[in-house]
Structure 1
Amino acid sequence: MIEAAMIWNEPNNKSHWDPALDPDWAIYADHVIRAGAAIRAINPAVTRVLGGMSPIDPSWLQRMERHGALDAVDVVAVHGFPLDWNLWPIHAWPDKIAEIEAVTDKPVWVTEVGVGSFGAEEVQVFGLTRTAELLIGRVPRLFWYSLYDLPMAWGAETRHREAEGSSYYRHFYMGLIREDGTPKPALDDYARVAGEMGLMQWFHYQDPRLDEAVAWMKRLGTRKLRTGLSWADSFRPDAIGWFDRQMEALADFDVTVTFCFTPEHLGVAPHHTSCAREPQAFADFCAWMIDRYAPALPAIRESIDVVA
């Protein structure tokens, strides 16, 4: 079920990793090195993915290489939203991939790409179609963000929220399905490429949309899904019951699972974007999740034991 594990989400974005606490990303690299080793020890067949960078930044990736983090992953990932937040045109996608390929020999996955309907739903139709033309066949994995609009009552994970103006409100219009459950015009366009373009959908703790989302994805023909298992959520009441239900519901998809979000009581600062006081605790969480939801097959486990 789990084909890949991503180590954090957008670690070079202030909304997901606090650079004031880790200005050189050396602590993040330590998280990656420990988590990558922990995942490999449990199941070496799981592809390890460096947290998808946003913005796409070759110099940041080279910094990760200098810290030794790339030795602990198999794939690097990028996120891009050229019609909503990025200051480059949508037709530059191949150039953006090439910029990263020029500084690493790791495969490059696009683990979040999207176009919102904030301005007009027709813009999303164009954006999805053009993204498919540019990236299907260009990268090994491609995930559209997202299936559902973010409910307005939930709030988006950004730095300044409403003070960001339209940049903030765009977060609520990235889905192919509106908050009320009705499809947008771009959903039909996605259905035509669903076998080649996966979906990225966060499921919040006890998310009421889970079963409906699974039904939609099967109807659309989606095969690959990227989602998350939150380290912070693992301390909520009945967290394992929720994780079990989520992963069981997603059993028919090839899942790239993202491990991220620091529990407040384990961070250097009491916030989910903080680096952990003990990075090994994050690695232990990753190992626990892989052991529970993607344990090695008996033949692989036997080989691991022999090598050990």
Structure 2
Amino acid sequence: MNRHSEDPARACRFGFVEWFRPGEYARSEEVLADILAAGASHLRTHLSWAEYLAPGGEEWFDWLIPRLGAAIDLLPCLHYTPPSLSRTGRSSGAPRVLKDYADFVDHILTRYGAWFTHVELWNEPNNLLDWDWREDPEFDLFCEMVGAAAYWARHRGFKPVLGGPCPFDPYWLNLMGERGVLAVVEAVGFHGFPGTWDSEAASWGGWDLHLGEMRQIMDRHNPRAEIWITETGYSTWRNDELEQVRRFAKAINLPVARSYWYGYQDVAPDVPVQEGLWFDPRHYHLGIADHQGHPKLLGRLLQEGGLSRVDDVARLQGPGIMRPARPLVISGGAGFIGSNLADSFLREGREVIVIDNLSRPGVDRNLAWLEERHGGRVHPALIDIRDLPALEPALADASAVFHLAAQTAVTTSLERPIDDFEINARGTINLLEAVRKAGRQAPVIFASTNKVYGALPDLAMIETEDRYVPADPMLRAHGVGEGRALDFCTPYGCSKGVADQYVLDYAKSFGLPSAVLRMSCIYGPRQFGTEDQGWVAHFLIRALSGEDISIYGDGKQVRDILFIDDAVAAYRAVHAGIAEVSGRAFNLGGGAANAVSLNMVIREIDRLRGRGTGRNLAPWRAGDQLYFVADTRALRDAFGWRAATEWRKGLSALHDWLVEHRFPHLAEEGRRSAAR
């Protein structure tokens, strides 16, 4: 289609669209750094004529344009008439003197021309909010204004780009050709948002159709002109971040010279996007990072490994689910516990639907591992549990549901409590309602947390040389039982506690078979531990990386750690006996026999590695328990379950797995050392 598309190197070049408002100095620096880290080579931003002539405008753009242009290939979009010069008194109106726009373009080229090679002339001219075509129904004023500006920009050695219409209008584009505008531009922009606006408005015919129409028109009027995707994107307002990945992968491989993704960062919820569109949520979630700069799935993939990582994930199965009869369903099934649980059933020949949004780093590798081992019996449903319409078909035929998907970090819940609630509480309600709506009475087994018992401040503790132990001998012998009063602490404890209680209540109120496992610290292979969650694996990963371990508090806090094989056995036992235990909650942990302090775990890591590990001490964190050991006698009495793996053996198994799969150079060093 476009001759430039034949160059593979150009096909992989992409950029972002990001509008910066006057005075956003800090945000501009932050977003620019993130855009570069994502591997983008281009940036499209607006240089508003109206803002430039407003008080402080020159000062702002004198800083912004050189700052951006020095770091990245910059495309400024020159639009918005100053109201004082507009025929309508609005920025969307044509200037009273059309030549004023060409003079403004000339001024910008003189002032900032060292920082870019192309200049875009206006934005979405067939959109009433950008160009008031009611006052210019035949686009006579627009063509005269932009044509003169494009001619002068070319005369000065710059490459003019005609702003893209949205939605695409071939009749408008052909009019630009008949009026001579296409003859004086080097590229023409195209705007398209399939799946967000265009397809829903029934105006979207597909990339091939619209780009083909565009090329035919341009070939009649200016065959040397390039086609650029100057705006495309996908809004994650339904939290379907994987679909954004797929749309991005498609867009950057289109047969065009350049592709700009809209945008890098979500619009803050208190910022009006366009008049009359304030409450449309789609406008506020177009970024690949949220409005605070936290990367979404697409942003994380680009930063982790660039376009190859995006392609790997985009190739995973899409939202259409090939459902077998009565499968097991595991939400969070690509996570640490979920993938091990899925593997245990798949090894028996069961069919498993894996629900996951792949938001946690590394879990897509767990999904790939499951598919490599079990092929077509793994059915990925790559959706977010907050997206109820997508969740319902994945659960329609479930024989049982293991609900493990969650926001799992206390620290994240303190930073983003609304997101924490939406995922853990609202997501759980979505899942329960989807199961209830299906009408098959599928059991739901929920992964809760010991945090529902709060910080346990009333427990009298004895401080020993390397740990805290309860003063109560019964508590020392058995740990905290299910009879302990709930005491939600931190937003994470609240959201998981709410979900915990809803799962139990659905057994009472609706007769839905359900049970809850309040977990302590689970560890083992396929865990990608972080500082905030999965601390046993995180400690090992830091030590094997040769990095210090951060200790919040004094390291004497005690947890009962449970090896993953034993956790899987517990979930399977509850599943098998759900008819007898529906409506009950069980504590799940390593018990008193596997109660260890953080300092004890670090000493064992040092023994496994044969060297010491550095430690950084930091203040205690909110809600941190001095001591939590799960009393697992209820699980034992109901199912005969026991923690079979002694903690040192489990830690050694995790160490060996990490060396083999995360640090293969250490395994090779060990083999060479043994050979000597």
- TM > 0.5 fold call: yes
CA contact (8 A) 2:16 2:44 kept: yes
- Counterpart of 2:152, as a letter, is V
**TM-superposition CA deviations, 1:74-129 (whole Å, max 9, x none):** 1233202132687446655444312435xx62233213444364347335522331
1:77 equivalent in structure 2: 44
Q: 246, 257, 260: which one pairs with 1:284?
A: 246
Secondary structure of the residue that 1:226 maps to in structure 2?
A: strand
CA contact (8 A) 2:32 2:68 kept: no
| 1:202 matched to 2:165 | yes
Q: 65, 68, 82: which one pairs with 1:97?
A: 65
Distance, in Å, in 2 between the alignment partners of 1:211 and 1:199 is 13
Secondary structure of the residue that 2:191 maps to in structure 1?
A: strand
- Counterpart of 1:181, as a letter, is F
| 1:126 matched to 2:91 | no
Distance, in Å, in 1 between the alignment partners of 2:133 and 2:27 is 26
1:12 equivalent in structure 2: none
Distance, in Å, in 2 between the alignment partners of 1:238 and 1:75 is 26
Instruction: Label 1:284 to 1:239 Cα distance change in 2 as closer, same or farther (>3 A).
Output: same
Q: 213, 218, 235: which one pairs with 1:245?
A: 213
Instruction: Label 1:180 to 1:204 Cα distance change in 2 as closer, same or farther (>3 A).
Output: same
Judge which range, 206-215 or 220-229, deviates more: 206-215
Q: 219, 227, 232: which one pairs with 1:255?
A: 227
**TM-superposition CA deviations, 1:158-191 (whole Å, max 9, x none):** xxxxxxxxxxxxx33489x922232355356325
Distance, in Å, in 1 between the alignment partners of 2:147 and 2:32 is 41
Distance, in Å, in 1 between the alignment partners of 2:183 and 2:119 is 16
Q: 2, 5, 9: which one pairs with 1:44?
A: 9
Instruction: Label 1:65 to 1:78 Cα distance change in 2 as closer, same or farther (>3 A).
Output: closer
Secondary structure of the residue that 1:231 maps to in structure 2?
A: coil
Higher relative contact order (CA 8 A, sep 6+): 1
Distance, in Å, in 2 between the alignment partners of 1:76 and 1:94 is 17
Instruction: Label 1:149 to 1:50 Cα distance change in 2 as closer, same or farther (>3 A).
Output: closer
- Counterpart of 2:108, as a letter, is L
Offset of residue 149 of structure 1: 5.5
1:60 equivalent in structure 2: 27
Unaligned runs of 5+ in 2: 258-307, 313-676
- Counterpart of 2:119, as a letter, is L
Offset of residue 50 of structure 1: 1.9
Judge which range, 186-195 or 220-229, deviates more: 186-195
CA contact (8 A) 2:227 2:256 kept: no
Instruction: Label 1:2 to 1:67 Cα distance change in 2 as closer, same or farther (>3 A).
Output: farther
Q: 90, 100, 117: which one pairs with 1:140?
A: 117
1:115 equivalent in structure 2: 81
Q: How does 1:25-36 map to 2 (within 5 A)?
A: none
**TM-superposition CA deviations, 1:193-217 (whole Å, max 9, x none):** 2533322132414553132123335
- Counterpart of 2:102, as a letter, is L
Unaligned runs of 5+ in 1: 5-41, 157-170, 270-276, 296-303
Distance, in Å, in 2 between the alignment partners of 1:77 and 1:84 is 17
Instruction: Label 1:189 to 1:280 Cα distance change in 2 as closer, same or farther (>3 A).
Output: same
Distance, in Å, in 2 between the alignment partners of 1:107 and 1:292 is 20
Offset of residue 221 of structure 1: 1.3
Offset of residue 66 of structure 1: 5.6
Moved over 6 A (4+): none
Offset of residue 145 of structure 1: 0.2
2:131 equivalent in structure 1: 172
Rg larger in structure:
2
Instruction: Label 1:283 to 1:248 Cα distance change in 2 as closer, same or farther (>3 A).
Output: farther
Distance, in Å, in 2 between the alignment partners of 1:80 and 1:187 is 15
Instruction: Label 1:279 to 1:126 Cα distance change in 2 as closer, same or farther (>3 A).
Output: same
Tell me the percent identity.
Answer: 7
Instruction: Label 1:286 to 1:245 Cα distance change in 2 as closer, same or farther (>3 A).
Output: farther
